[in-house]
Structure formats: structure tokens, C-alpha cells
Amino acid sequence: MGNAESGLKKLATRKVMRASELTPYISTRTQIRRMVEAGQIVYLGTGIYSHPSIDPFAASIIAIARYYPNAIISNITALVVHELTDERVDRIDVDIPRNSSIRNKLISAHRVPEKNILGMIRLPYHGQKIRIYCKERALCDAYRIDPEGPLFLKSMKRYVKAGNVDPDRIAKYDMLLSTNALRAFRQEIADG
């Protein structure tokens, strides 16, 4: 078995790898680029590749968890992971503390004050634990992005329909983030 073939096997096992992790198997970046052009591997973002058998969105989330462990999946991306929206995500939204930075074409980083990093959970996702905001926090963010707009309203309806509505958590994040989302939730629950 050639080195490229063993590299593909390793990538199939790990799902996502950096170029530096692939180079012991695939000797040059030119060869990596050719394999991308041939569809043997998938380019996700600067220096990050996945196996073609995994969905690029899922691979991107795994890459964030593995290579940016302090980033928290947020905003629309969190809603998609929690299956509260079907919006298309071109770049993965992450929150990071204001005193840090991330630069990669794969990521849309949002620097937030430490006091606003609330509601982070570790969610199992394709065999990887990801840092993501809980559903209630993600919904409050949706309200902040699109107050009373279709993104928030559709996500809220899916959340309510799924059951397990936690009005206390919604009230907590609503108050701490000053979103005013609680009023909309109460109305939706009252309307049934």
C-alpha cells in the first residue's frame, strides 16, 4: 500500500486532519491539492481537510472541536447543530474571548466579553465532544440576530414543538444577554 493510500485510510478513521498531519503520508502540499481536485479528500479551510465520506458541515464542526478547543459553536451554526433551523452555513460561527483570536477561512469568529460566555455545554457529535451553547442560549442569540424575524420564529417553533421547554433557562439567558426573547417564548407557548 502506498503512502497516499495509507494517508487516506488514516483520514477515513480520523475524519478530519491538518495538512501537517497528512504530510507523513502524502509527501507534498501539491499532492494534497491534486487529491482535493480529484475528489479524494475535501478542503475545509486553511490547512484542514476531511475524508469525502463525511458531510463537510459535520467535518467542519469536528475540525473546530479538535483544532480550536477554546472556541464555542454559536449563532446560526449552533441552531443548525441543535436542529432548530435548516439555514445554510458557509462558515462556522464561534464565540471566543475578546483577548484571543482565530484566523481560518472555515470560521467566523465573534469576540465576546467573558461575562457573555454563558450556557456552554459539551455535546457528543460524530464521536467528538464539541463546545456549543445550549439550545436556550442559542435561541436568545437568534433573537439578537433577527428579533421577531423568520430565523428566530422558526427556531423557536421547532424548540417548542420538540418539547422539553425550559422557561427558567430562557429567562436566565434573556436577562443576562438583554435579548427580550422571553416575551416571544411566552407568546408562542400561550398560542400553543
Residue 43 sits in the same domain as residue 75 = no
Beta strands in the chain (DSSP E): 16-18, 42-45, 48-50, 72-73, 92-97, 107-112, 120-125, 128-133
Residue 7 sits in the same domain as residue 81 = no
Residue 14 sits in the same domain as residue 64 = no
Encode the chain (192 residues) as per-residue pLDDT tens digits: 457 788 888 898 999 999 889 888 887 778 888 899 999 999 998 889 999 999 999 999 999 999 999 999 999 999 999 999 999 999 999 999 998 888 888 899 999 998 889 999 999 999 899 999 999 999 999 998 888 788 888 998 899 888 888 888 989 998 888 888 888 877 777 776
Which residue range is the domain that position 121 belongs to? 59-191
Q: The whole model's pTM is what?
A: 0.89
